[in-house]
Structure 1
Amino acid sequence: MKSLPPLKSLQVFLFAARSGSFKAAAEQLFVTQAAVSQQIRLLEQHLNCKLFEREAKHTRLSAKGALLLPYIEQAFEQISSGVHALSFEPNANNLRISALHSTTSLLLIPKIHDFQQHHPQLNIQFSPNNRLDSFNDTDIDIAIRRGLGTYPGLESKKLIDDVIMLVACPRLLPANKTELTSILAIPLLEDTSSDIEEAVEDFCLRYQVKRDQLNANLKTTDAVPIIQNVLAGRGMAFVSKVLVAEHIKNGNLVNVLDYAYITPKTLYLVAPAHHFHWEKIKRFEAWLKPLLERHMAISSDEY
């Protein structure tokens, strides 16, 4: 592959071609006409062809120059768009966040007032959605998703490490909190999400019980009703620690058998790479990550 000519020569070519004059190009670029002529000569030598027909009082593109021009125009437009994307922050006073229903309901809405107190100029809008929005078709600024952090065409930043826990109301547990037969008799409210399923399989292997020994009587892929029913004392459930950490700390829920399954899936901030350069995204990330780290900092003696 032939090496590309210097970017400076291509820029000079673009200005000279558009203006039809080396003199006008020199004025627009704040250089001398001789400097423009030199860059055009260097470019012609590099490409081994004439790009301009030089006449007495003006210059015009040669056939090869006319062929080259639209490609150079497109290239500089792409460069300009990239620089613009990094520096331009649309709707700087609006922050539109797409997040899972559970993350929105159980984490963000209860905590967002703290962020708003520090950044009252920002209008926060939530778009609860269990699918990853297309950033090209919406005005979403940032998404929070649970997964492995692999989202083609997008940048992702891990927020926390997470575990899956088995939780229940304290009043549901037997007097002997490690008596397995009595614990297995408690109704299981089952989230059928993939990483929860992995935790259930791990639990069965760890305690040498069969899957049908679990007293499952409700199944859904939505963690919100699961956790609401667990809080109401209607059963136990395998849930993401990040969604119930505060309830455990307050004593509303207990970690049954101190069970924890380390899951590779956790929460990520997800967006096109240039969104992370926007000031509002930087502020949101700087607030959210330490908040979640404090939220998860529950020692085993608090279970």
Structure 2
Amino acid sequence: MRDRSLAFLVLLLAACSPEADIATSSDNGEVAEQNRLDAVIASDLRSAENKARDQYRHPKETLEFFGVEADDLVVEMWPGGGWYTEILALYLADEGSLALVAADDRLDSVRKLAEAHPDAFKSVLFSPVDSPRDATTFPAGSADVVLTFRNVHNWEMGDEPYGDDMFAAMFDMLRPGGTLGVVEHRLPEDRPDEDMKTSGYMKQSRVVALAEAAGFELVEASEINANPNDTADHPRGVWTLPPRLRLEDQDRDMYLAIGESDRMTLKFRKPE
């Protein structure tokens, strides 16, 4: 955390990204309670469907592990449907700010959330990028925390992986001493490396190697989001499990009983 003017940061981000879209409003009393994070997670602005996943995604424990504070400038890298975005937006609304960095079309879902809940998204800034290999629209050395949830496999799958580019971009965004938090589907270390290309799971050693190659130091690994029931060898990869359930009714009860994937939770630091 650093002492800063939110207004200055808004101007800085807007100048850096001409397409920045800032949701503004006047009040968010629900997150002003003493235990802000508990209030946010219990907020009626979160859908019942999203709250049902808290048992697998452990948002309070995860954000506390990463050390996210209510007055931080946080970057969420590559948000998808906005599951964590709505929590972070509410949590940071009054004192901090949240920047969303992704390809422009990937931000459509969270833009809809912002339109539906302008008060909650009043301190959210959109920072679209032209391509995954050019994720540098965010001002260098500005973020207190960069977070990415279940994205590394997307960057590493296929014939032209770009995980190294993404970790380099996240390193560049952070201030010295800042934190990178990564949650990712976990592949057992004894599986073939080729499984990382198709399964949606990543070896923890590979994620750590990508981060360290970019200059990060591993601070700590947590089992907050571990699921020992997940064998990580399903017919349709990680998407066999909820919430996707790619096999639809086939063995549905079995996969629901397993729950969401086994996940690594890694905290890195950008050296001073």
TM-score normalised to structure 1 length: 0.24
Structure ranking higher in helix proportion = 1
Higher relative contact order (CA 8 A, sep 6+): 1
TM-score normalised to structure 2 length: 0.26
Which structure has the larger Rg over C-alpha atoms?
A: 1
